[in-house]
């Protein structure tokens, strides 16, 4: 049955009709009285009684709001009487597409929900959802699809179910929020579902068809919303298959994995990130949870960093994936190691762009780890104090009062004020106009602590600033403000002090220093280059950290590195060329090209190789000159250098480079000609 | 020889003003706001009031039972003339009415429009007055901040009246001006004014004035937010003194406590709204610690602790509450003290559809949240302090 057929459909079942009537009465009560008023409380109590009757033996009461009908457990129903129409209009006006209430919802939760709905104005569906989160109401779930999107989705689903048997069950699987309540399938319905779930090709076809239909009917739908609908659809199928046994569920999981592997990464991330950990924590996590649990570790952190890079740390998709990943490993430690491995790989592969996202993820994990530890310790301290007070009251009392009084010391208050600024910067409730002033106040705080000779504290605060900036829009004024806090000498002094305190150079120890480098890249580069030149062990954790950090700052390296290359002593040149190589930044090529005339063959050879890897078309001419240069006095080293230059030219993806190779291949002889031909064949 | 106009004596002036006020109210009852007769009556009263306010910054009217007192001048004559009206005012707990310099005819009309339906239907009148106070920056209306319980004799109340008017009412009025129309950080003069008020309250705490005791330990159930702010400041400073903090620290905590709800001043509720809280009001309530901290952190000359208190006063000892804090263990001592004083004062004042609790009920209620919302040592100290003060009455 489609919504259009509702005219001929049976009326709403009586318990549902009653529930709706009492729901609207409670809403009216909420508009007339405060939530503490007896009449309001009575109306919500009656509503809860009616909810129990309406929910029957299910876990959830679910209702979806289509254009002129209500989608209940099994089908569409006309809105019916005046209360029904008011009910529908209320949710339409708010932009809420479905409502699911758990059978065990508490009276307080229901009161708060009704109060929020009563006080909401048109279009404030998102605010109602935020209110539920604020008040920690977990028994009520709201769907937020813009009404035009939802209408489009309704048409899309209508199109999708055309020609399918058991259209009603398909509608339920698509419209219902993930895992909200059970599905009661008849054997024939179950069979149809199994046909889909057992065969990856069938499933892939169905999902593509659904997605195509959604895109064509709901034109303004976002990618996140598409992911949410498809994710929810897959979760519901896994829930519906619950009774078919572990084997069938496993087959379905494999089919979903195969389908997700075949689709674009952005869509895959949206679908996997659609699974809310709140639902997963409560009950069966569904197929998406199973997939995350069984996913290869490397793939999982790849998903995380992609979601972070695309949506930022506050996006729902990233947060869902982040929490599920943490739930899988119990702690952040294993994830941190995985992230560190991926960072090393990105460094080796000269991928500075991806390094920034990895570093951001690393900092988030460290922050999470520290917060967890801090909160555990604090909870323990609360328990200890309560117990100790019972046993040895006086002494403990004095100690605790001393501790509390110390928090009022001027320096403690300065630190608390700095922490407050961080909290405000990270708060979604902050007024936008306050961002810049807050950063200015933060600048005063960190300068104060640095001048007080507290580098570690300064570093910790700067790390929080780095995480806060990740949540802010990337505006130049913010970055300029932060950059103005310290001069280059101060950044060097700070980094030097922090380095002196390092022992292991592990991620957690280096997190403050990493943040400073990211916040003041131009000013930190000089210090980092100097540290790199002084490295004694290339395999040490310090070397790994320095290399990774310098590569992540590659866009800021050229000017400084060029000037160092120009005035460097010969002994420093190999490492400087290494750095130029690692940076993969073509702006550095002029400084390297100058080294082609260096007196030392090894330096010349290293410079040639570096130019090839930098792949700048501007390097073709000096490299060609080296190859084409004829000298009566050319020895073995000269020849070797020319061969190196040919290989470098082959790495540059430009017609000009290819032309030089072709010229050598046709006009020269011997080793040079042979290598040119080989290289041309390979390209 | 030119004739000098006769200057009426103050008592005649006050009688005339009072009669004009109720005349305007009656006219508004009979006619629409724009009717010439109503405009004339409101205009006449306004002109007379304005003339008075040109000389003095405030004018305070008190209605105690069937007695009216204007600027400390008892007006027993009004008992006969306004015999039916005064009990109506008592029903809506309109015991004090202060007009401040700067009141406009529009604000006056709005106040009369607010008052009129309450005179007919008094239920919830006190709350209506309080809720709409934000829209009336120059007219302060509500209860006397005195609670005439049996333990306090009428004489002591009457004796404390003058002192009360000079202290709390004056500070309430000043605080109202300070917090009215907040659009951004407080200017240096406003910060200075807040410090002056705190200093005065601090002196009251130190002296242990009867007024202070009446306000704090047998406190008024007045829902006015400015009185709440004064109470929380006084209680916080009393407690800070109890744990032997230094005077400058005590005053800084007192200042933070005085301004702890400044984020609420940013968002007055709708005039004449009667129903439950709207979602926007709810949101603004949740946001008020953030908003308050933002305002105070950017106010020049504000001590570091003040924005911290504004931000943390709804964060519980165990880290729950709002806003969600990254590291709950870092909740400041000053914030904990203010949190306790704030909770106590909230329990002891009337709020919409919730009556104030008695001292014992309030303390018992707070006891149930020890180790969760409240620090065990601090709550114990607070309880002892309040009980000790109550016993000395």
Q: Under an 8 A CB cutoff, do A420 and B282 touch? A: no
For tokens 């210090």, what's the residue? A527
- B contacts of A130 (beta carbons < 8 Å): 283
**Tens-digit pLDDT profile for residues B57-83:** 788 888 877 778 887 777 888 877 787
Judged against a pLDDT cut of 90, whether residue B265 lies above it is answered with no
Interface mutation vs chain A, best among B308, B353, B384, most A CBs within 10 Å = B353
Judged against a pLDDT cut of 70, whether residue B8 lies above it is answered with no
- B contacts of A430 (beta carbons < 8 Å): 290, 294
Interface mutation vs chain A, best among B183, B275, B284, B320, most A CBs within 10 Å = B275
Residues 6+ apart with CB under 8 A from A129: A142, A144
Identify the pLDDT of residue A82.
86
Query: Which A positions 411-450 lie with beta carbon below 8 A of chain B?
Result: 413-414, 416-417, 419-424, 426-427, 429-431, 434, 437-438, 441
What token pair was written down for B104? Answer: 């406009």
Instruction: Give φ, ψ of B269 to 5 degrees.
Output: -80, 165
Identify the pLDDT of residue A9.
64
Q: Which of A31, A430, A441 sits opposite B275 (nearest CB)?
A: A31
Identify the pLDDT of residue B161.
46
What rounded mean pLDDT belongs to chain A? Answer: 86
Instruction: Say what percent of chain A tops pLDDT 70.
Output: 93
Q: Under an 8 A CB cutoff, do B304 and A124 touch? A: no
Alpha-carbon separation of residue A619 from A131, A616, B180, B206, B329 (angstroms): 60, 6, 69, 82, 59
What token pair was written down for A172? Answer: 């339920």
Identify the pLDDT of residue B7.
57
**Tens-digit pLDDT profile for residues A63-100:** 888 777 888 876 778 887 888 889 999 998 888 888 88
**Tens-digit pLDDT profile for residues A214-263:** 888 777 777 777 888 888 888 888 888 776 777 888 888 888 998 888 88
How far off is chain B from A134, nearest CA to CA, in Å? 8
Identify the pLDDT of residue B275.
53
Identify the pLDDT of residue B307.
97
Determine the 3-state secondary structure of B70 from DSSP.
strand
pTM of the model: 0.77
Strand partners of residue B96: B62, B142
Contact of A397 with chain B, judged by CB distance below 8 Å, is answered with: yes
Q: Which of A120, A378, A434 sits opposite B329 (nearest CB)?
A: A378
Distance CA A10, CA A321 (A): 42
Judged against a pLDDT cut of 90, whether residue B302 lies above it is answered with yes
For residue B281, the chain A residue with the least C-alpha distance is A119
How far off is chain A from B274, nearest CA to CA, in Å? 7
Give the residue-averaged pLDDT of A257-284: 78
Interface pTM, i.e. ipTM: 0.81
How far off is chain A from B318, nearest CA to CA, in Å? 7
Identify the pLDDT of residue A44.
94
- A contacts of B291 (beta carbons < 8 Å): 429, 431
Identify the pLDDT of residue B154.
43
Q: Under an 8 A CB cutoff, do B323 and A127 touch? A: no
Interface mutation vs chain B, best among A415, A429, A436, A438, most B CBs within 10 Å = A429
Among A50, A143, A142, CA closest to A103:
A50
Q: Under an 8 A CB cutoff, do B311 and A420 touch? A: yes
**Tens-digit pLDDT profile for residues B215-234:** 555 455 556 778 888 889 98
Identify the pLDDT of residue B217.
52
Identify the pLDDT of residue B267.
53
Identify the pLDDT of residue B271.
35
Interface mutation vs chain B, best among A127, A380, A411, A413, most B CBs within 10 Å = A413
Judged against a pLDDT cut of 50, whether residue A408 lies above it is answered with yes
pLDDT band per the 50, 70, 90 thresholds, residue A141: confident
Size of interface A-B (CB pairs under 8 A): 151
Residues 6+ apart with CB under 8 A from A427: B290, B323
pLDDT band per the 50, 70, 90 thresholds, residue B270: very low
Identify the pLDDT of residue A318.
93
How far off is chain B from A656, nearest CA to CA, in Å? 57
Give the residue-averaged pLDDT of B338-362: 84
What rounded mean pLDDT belongs to chain B? Answer: 80
How far off is chain A from B314, nearest CA to CA, in Å? 13
Distance CA B27, CA B46 (A): 14
- A contacts of B293 (beta carbons < 8 Å): 420, 424
Segment of A389-403, A623-637, B252-266, B341-355 carrying the highest mean pLDDT: B252-266
Q: Which of B278, B308, B333 sits opposite A404 (nearest CB)?
A: B333
Identify the pLDDT of residue A67.
74
**Tens-digit pLDDT profile for residues A361-372:** 999 999 999 888
CB-side neighbour CA atoms (13 Å) of A607: 26
Instruction: Say what percent of chain B tops pLDDT 70.
Output: 81
Judged against a pLDDT cut of 80, whether residue B257 lies above it is answered with yes
For residue B242, the chain A residue with the least C-alpha distance is A401
- B contacts of A408 (beta carbons < 8 Å): 245, 249, 305, 332-334
Identify the pLDDT of residue A23.
94
Whether the link from the prior residue into B323 is cis, omega within 30° of 0, is: yes
Identify the pLDDT of residue B92.
82
Identify the pLDDT of residue A632.
53
Contact of A535 with chain B, judged by CB distance below 8 Å, is answered with: no
A645 touches A627 (CB < 8 A)? yes
Q: Which of A38, A410, A420 sits opposite B293 (nearest CB)?
A: A420
Identify the pLDDT of residue A301.
93
How far off is chain A from B99, nearest CA to CA, in Å? 30
Judged against a pLDDT cut of 70, whether residue A379 lies above it is answered with yes
Q: Under an 8 A CB cutoff, do A35 and B276 touch? A: yes
- How would you class A628 by CB atoms within 10 Å of its CB: exposed for 0-12, middle for 13-18, buried for 19 or more? middle
How far off is chain A from B207, nearest CA to CA, in Å? 24
Kindly report which listed range (A6-20, A203-217, A478-492, B17-31) carries the lowest average pLDDT score.
Answer: A6-20
Kindly report which listed range (A413-417, B79-83, B116-120) carries the lowest average pLDDT score.
Answer: B79-83
pLDDT band per the 50, 70, 90 thresholds, residue B392: low
For residue B295, the chain A residue with the least C-alpha distance is A434
Q: Under an 8 A CB cutoff, do A389 and B243 touch? A: no
- A contacts of B269 (beta carbons < 8 Å): none
Q: Which of A131, A375, A427 sits opposite B290 (nearest CB)?
A: A427
CB < 8 Å & 24+ apart, contacts of A115-118: A115/A30, A115/A35, A115/A40, A115/B276, A115/B277, A115/B282, A116/B279, A116/B282, A117/A27, A117/A30, A117/A90, A118/A26, A118/A27, A118/A28, A118/A29, A118/A30, A118/A31, A118/B275, A118/B276
Identify the pLDDT of residue A283.
56
Among A469, A491, A489, CA closest to A480:
A469
Domains of chain B: 10-154 (no CATH), 160-391 (1.10.3210.10)
Distance CA B96, CA A357 (A): 62
Q: Under an 8 A CB cutoff, do B274 and A32 touch? A: yes
Identify the pLDDT of residue B149.
39
pLDDT band per the 50, 70, 90 thresholds, residue A151: low
Kindly report which listed range (A68-77, A315-324, B299-308, B313-322) carries the lowest average pLDDT score.
Answer: A68-77
Judged against a pLDDT cut of 60, whether residue B336 lies above it is answered with yes
Give the residue-averaged pLDDT of A541-547: 91
**Tens-digit pLDDT profile for residues A11-54:** 888 899 999 999 999 999 888 888 888 889 999 999 999 999 98
Interface mutation vs chain A, best among B241, B254, B280, B332, most A CBs within 10 Å = B332
Alpha-carbon separation of residue B109 from A12, A375, B21, B123, B129 (angstroms): 51, 54, 11, 22, 14
- B contacts of A423 (beta carbons < 8 Å): 311, 323, 325-326
B230 touches B174 (CB < 8 A)? no
Strand partners of residue B99: B59, B139
Strand partners of residue A76: A71
Contact of A386 with chain B, judged by CB distance below 8 Å, is answered with: yes
Q: Which of A130, A374, A431 sits opposite B327 (nearest CB)?
A: A374
pLDDT band per the 50, 70, 90 thresholds, residue B3: very low
Judged against a pLDDT cut of 50, whether residue B200 lies above it is answered with yes
Segment of A52-61, A375-384, A451-460, B31-40 carrying the highest mean pLDDT: A451-460
């Amino acid at each position: 049955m489609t919504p259009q057929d509702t005219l001929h459909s049976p009326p709403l079942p009586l318990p549902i009709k009653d529930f709706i009537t009492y729901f609207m009465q409670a809403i009216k009560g909420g508009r007339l009285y405060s939530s503490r008023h007896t009449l309001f409380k009575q109306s919500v109590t009656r509503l809860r009684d009616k909810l129990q009757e309406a929910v029957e033996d299910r876990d959830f009461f679910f209702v979806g709001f289509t254009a002129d009908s209500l989608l209940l457990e099994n089908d569409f129903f006309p809105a019916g009487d005046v209360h029904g129409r008011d009910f529908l209009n209320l949710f339409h006006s708010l932009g809420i597409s479905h409502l699911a209430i758990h059978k065990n919802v508490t009276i307080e939760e229901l009161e708060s929900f009704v109060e929020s709905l009563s006080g909401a104005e048109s279009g404030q569906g998102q605010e109602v959802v935020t209110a539920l989160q604020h008040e920690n109401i977990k028994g009520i779930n709201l769907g937020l699809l813009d009404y035009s999107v939802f209408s489009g989705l309704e048409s899309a689903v209508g199109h999708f179910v055309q020609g399918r048997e058991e259209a009603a069950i398909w509608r339920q699987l698509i419209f219902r929020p993930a895992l909200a309540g059970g599905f009661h399938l008849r054997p024939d319905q179950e069979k149809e579902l199994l046909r889909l779930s057992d065969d990856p090709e069938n499933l892939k076809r169905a999902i593509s068809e659904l997605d195509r239909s959604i895109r064509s009917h709901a034109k303004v739908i976002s990618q996140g919303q598409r992911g949410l609908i498809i994710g929810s659809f897959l979760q519901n199928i896994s829930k519906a298959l619950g009774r078919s046994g572990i084997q069938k569920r496993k087959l379905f999981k494999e089919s979903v994995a195969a389908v997700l592997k075949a689709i674009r990464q952005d869509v895959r991330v949206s679908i996997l990130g659609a699974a809310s950990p709140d639902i997963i924590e409560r009950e069966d996590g569904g197929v998406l949870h199973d997939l995350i649990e069984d996913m290869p570790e490397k793939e999982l952190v790849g998903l995380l960093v992609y979601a972070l890079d695309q949506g930022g740390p506050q996006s729902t998709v990233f947060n869902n994936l982040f929490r599920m990943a943490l739930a899988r490993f119990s702690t952040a430690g294993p994830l941190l190691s995985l992230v560190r491995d991926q960072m090393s790989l990105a460094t080796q592969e000269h991928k500075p762009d991806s390094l920034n996202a990895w570093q951001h993820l690393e900092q988030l994990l460290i922050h999470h780890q520290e917060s967890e530890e801090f909160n555990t310790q604090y909870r323990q301290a609360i328990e200890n104090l309560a117990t100790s007070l019972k046993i040895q009251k006086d002494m403990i009392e004095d100690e605790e009062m001393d501790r509390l009084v110390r928090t009022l010391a001027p320096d403690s208050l300065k630190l608390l004020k700095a922490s407050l600024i961080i909290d405000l910067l990270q708060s979604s409730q902050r007024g936008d106009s306050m961002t810049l002033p807050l950063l200015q106040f933060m600048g005063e705080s960190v300068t104060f602590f640095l001048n007080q000779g507290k580098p570690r504290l300064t570093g910790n605060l700067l790390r929080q600033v780095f995480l806060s900036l990740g949540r802010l829009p990337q505006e130049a004024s913010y970055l300029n403000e932060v950059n103005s806090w310290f001069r280059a000498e101060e950044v060097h002094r700070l980094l030097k002090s922090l380095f002196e305190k390092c022992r292991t150079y592990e991620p957690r120890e280096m997190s403050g220093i990493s943040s400073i480098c990211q916040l003041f890249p131009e000013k930190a580069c000089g210090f980092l280059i100097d540290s790199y030149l002084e490295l004694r062990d290339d395999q040490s954790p310090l070397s790994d950290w320095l290399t990774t950090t310098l590569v992540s700052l590659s866009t800021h390296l050229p000017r400084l590195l060029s000037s160092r290359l120009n005035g460097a002593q010969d002994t420093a040149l190999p490492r400087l060329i290494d750095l130029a190589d690692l940076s993969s930044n073509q702006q550095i090529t002029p400084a390297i090209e100058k080294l082609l005339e260096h007196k030392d063959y090894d330096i010349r050879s290293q410079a040639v190789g570096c130019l090839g890897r930098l792949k700048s078309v501007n390097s073709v001419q000096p490299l060609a000159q080296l190859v084409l240069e004829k000298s009566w006095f050319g020895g073995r080293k000269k020849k070797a250098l020319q061969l190196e230059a040919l290989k470098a030219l082959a790495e540059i993806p430009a017609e000009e480079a290819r032309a030089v190779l072709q010229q050598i291949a046709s006009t020269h002889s011997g080793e040079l000609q042979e290598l040119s031909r080989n290289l041309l064949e390979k390209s | 020889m030119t004739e000098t106009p006769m200057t009426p004596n103050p008592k005649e002036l006050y009688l005339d003003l009072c009669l004009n006020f109720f005349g305007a109210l009656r006219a508004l009852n009979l006619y629409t706001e724009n009717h010439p007769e109503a405009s004339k009556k409101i205009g006449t009263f306004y002109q007379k009031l304005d003339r008075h306010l040109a000389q003095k910054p405030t004018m305070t009217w008190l209605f105690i039972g069937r007695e009216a007192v204007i600027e400390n001048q008892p007006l027993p004559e009004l008992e006969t003339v306004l015999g039916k009206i005064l009990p109506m005012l008592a029903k809506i707990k309109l015991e004090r009415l202060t007009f401040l310099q700067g009141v406009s005819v529009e604000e006056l009309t709005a106040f009369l429009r607010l008052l009129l339906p309450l005179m007919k239907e008094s239920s919830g009148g006190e709350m209506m007055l309080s809720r709409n106070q934000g829209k009336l920056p120059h007219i302060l209306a509500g209860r006397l901040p005195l609670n005439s319980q049996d333990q306090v004799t009428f004489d002591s109340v009457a004796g404390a009246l003058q002192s009360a008017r000079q202290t709390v009412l004056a500070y309430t009025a000043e605080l109202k001006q300070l917090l009215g129309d907040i659009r951004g950080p407080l200017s240096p003069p406003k910060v200075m004014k807040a410090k002056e008020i705190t200093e005065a309250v601090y002196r009251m705490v130190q002296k242990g004035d009867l007024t202070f005791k009446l306000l704090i330990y047998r406190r008024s159930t007045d829902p006015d937010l400015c009185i709440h702010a004064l109470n929380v400041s006084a209680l916080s400073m009393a407690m800070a003194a109890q744990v032997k903090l230094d005077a400058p620290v005590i005053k800084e905590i007192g200042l933070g406590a005085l301004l702890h709800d400044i984020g609420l001043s940013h968002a007055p509720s709708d005039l004449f709204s009667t129903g439950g809280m709207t979602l926007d009001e709810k949101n603004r309530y949740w946001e008020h610690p953030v908003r308050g901290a933002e305002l105070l952190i950017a106010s020049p000359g504000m001590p570091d602790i003040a924005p911290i208190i504004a931000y943390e006063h709804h964060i519980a000892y165990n880290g729950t509450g709002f806003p969600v804090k990254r590291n709950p263990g870092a909740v400041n001592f000053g914030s904990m003290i203010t949190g306790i004083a704030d909770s106590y004062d909230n329990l002891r004042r009337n709020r919409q559809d919730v009556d104030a609790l008695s001292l014992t009920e309030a303390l018992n209620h707070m006891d149930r949240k020890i180790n969760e919302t409240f620090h065990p040592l601090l709550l114990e100290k607070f309880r002892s302090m309040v009980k000790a003060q109550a016993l000395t009455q």
